[in-house]
């Protein structure tokens, strides 16, 4: 099943998916020729691995945001509230080796090395629109694997109604965790049917490379129909639960940040409208884009919420 984009996408946003893919091929060829004698064998293998990741079936045909904007404009409060400084501050975070603890309502719990998880979950590339609750957006070519595939390996029981994710807690390296901007460590969660939806992605890379630290290395969640704060970074724990998790932003501002956090232009943030969005990296003359319900993925996910009042359960 190929992902079909809605007809009302602006012409300027339509990818040249072929241009992007051809650009990838050119860059790979030039890099291989110019850098071969300088790259250690282990690093060379790693580059080849990410350069040959196939395009997944749920990838959208959208114009990809320039990598420099995506890597240098991030919300990562564990390091800082400044969007640019996390690029530098996050370099101190050691992301290898890495493990994930699995707890709660599942048959297979314990501590699992990320390396072993990756061995059983083939990677694919998915080009997704990303919408921040702050009313800006971008389009990112993520590399990862379906979240559902990973969760099934832990064999959640019938009692598992939700899945909770926890980021690493290391205030010695993450100076933002010494403050009180949020309750630490950062927690996020999904209802099980959301987590098992084929669009939900566990990302390990982007733009033909591994994730940069400031973008959530080595393991982050990507849920394209929800606001970006749901896409928790640097995941170290997964817990299956009968009850809804108390998530970081919902605890910090329950009247501003709901648990579901579905992109919805009909529900304004108390301090700003969500009807339009600024496209990251666009010219100052580019008009803001009309925000789509579920960030343009309504045909795939609206049925998950058919019995809910989305203005009440925001």
pLDDT per residue as tens digits for the range 67-81: 999 999 999 999 999
Q: Is 9 exposed, middle or buried (0-12, 13-18, 19+ CB in 10 A)?
A: middle
**11-304 sits in which CATH class?**
alpha beta
The percent of residues in the chain predicted with pLDDT above 70, rounded, is: 84
The whole-number average pLDDT for the span 161-169 is 98
State the pLDDT at residue 60.
85
State the pLDDT at residue 50.
80
The whole-number average pLDDT for the span 151-162 is 98
Report the relative pairing of strands 124-131 and 136-146 from DSSP bridges. antiparallel
Task: Note every long-range contact of 74-77, with CB atoms under 8 Å and residues 24 or more positions apart, other chains counting.
Answer: 74/214, 74/215, 75/132, 75/134, 75/228, 75/229, 76/176, 76/214, 76/216, 76/233, 77/176, 77/181, 77/182, 77/186
- Buried b vs exposed e over 151-182: b needs ≥16 C-beta within 10 Å? beebebeeebebbbbbbbebeeebebbeeeeb
pLDDT band at 58 (very low <50, low <70, confident <90, very high): confident
Closest CA to 192 of 79, 304, 63, 48: 304
State the pLDDT at residue 135.
98
- Name residues whose C-beta falls within 8 Å of residue 267's C-beta, 6 or more positions apart in sequence: 274, 310, 311, 314
State the pLDDT at residue 38.
35
* Mean of the per-residue pLDDT values of the chain: 88
The torsion angles phi and psi of 45, rounded to 5 degrees, stand at -65, -40
State the pLDDT at residue 49.
56
- Token look-up 């004698």 returns 37
pLDDT per residue as tens digits for the range 285-313: 999 999 999 999 999 999 999 999 999 99
pLDDT per residue as tens digits for the range 4-38: 433 333 433 433 444 445 545 443 443 333 333 33
pLDDT band at 214 (very low <50, low <70, confident <90, very high): very high
């Amino acid at each position: 099943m190929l992902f079909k984009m809605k007809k009302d996408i602006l012409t300027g946003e339509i990818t040249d998916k072929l241009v992007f893919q051809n650009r990838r091929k050119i860059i790979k060829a030039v890099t291989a020729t110019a850098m071969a004698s300088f790259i250690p064998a282990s690093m060379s293998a790693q580059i080849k691995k990410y350069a040959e990741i196939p395009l997944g079936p749920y990838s959208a045909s959208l114009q990809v945001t320039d990598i420099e904007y995506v890597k240098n404009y991030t919300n990562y409060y564990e390091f800082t509230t400044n969007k640019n400084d996390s690029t530098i501050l996050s370099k101190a975070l050691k992301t290898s080796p890495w493990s994930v603890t699995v707890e709660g309502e599942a048959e297979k719990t314990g501590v699992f090395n990320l390396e072993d998880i990756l061995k059983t979950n083939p990677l694919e590339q998915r080009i997704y629109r990303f919408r921040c609750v702050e009313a800006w957006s971008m389009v990112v070519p993520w590399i990862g694997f379906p979240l559902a595939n990973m969760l099934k390996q832990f064999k959640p029981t019938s009692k598992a109604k939700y899945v909770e994710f926890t980021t690493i807690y290391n205030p010695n390296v993450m100076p933002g965790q010494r403050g009180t901007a949020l309750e630490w460590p950062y927690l996020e969660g999904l209802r099980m049917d959301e987590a098992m939806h084929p669009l939900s992605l566990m990302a390990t890379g982007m733009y033909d490379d591994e994730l940069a630290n400031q973008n959530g290395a080595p393991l982050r969640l990507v849920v394209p129909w929800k606001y970006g704060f749901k896409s928790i970074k640097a995941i170290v724990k997964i817990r299956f639960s009968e009850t809804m998790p108390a998530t970081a932003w919902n605890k910090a501002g329950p009247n501003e940040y709901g648990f579901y956090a579905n992109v919805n232009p009909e529900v304004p943030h108390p301090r700003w409208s969500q009807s339009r969005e600024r496209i990251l990296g666009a010219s100052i003359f580019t008009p803001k884009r009309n925000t789509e319900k579920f960030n343009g993925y309504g045909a795939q996910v609206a049925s998950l919420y058919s019995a809910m009042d989305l203005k009440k359960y925001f």
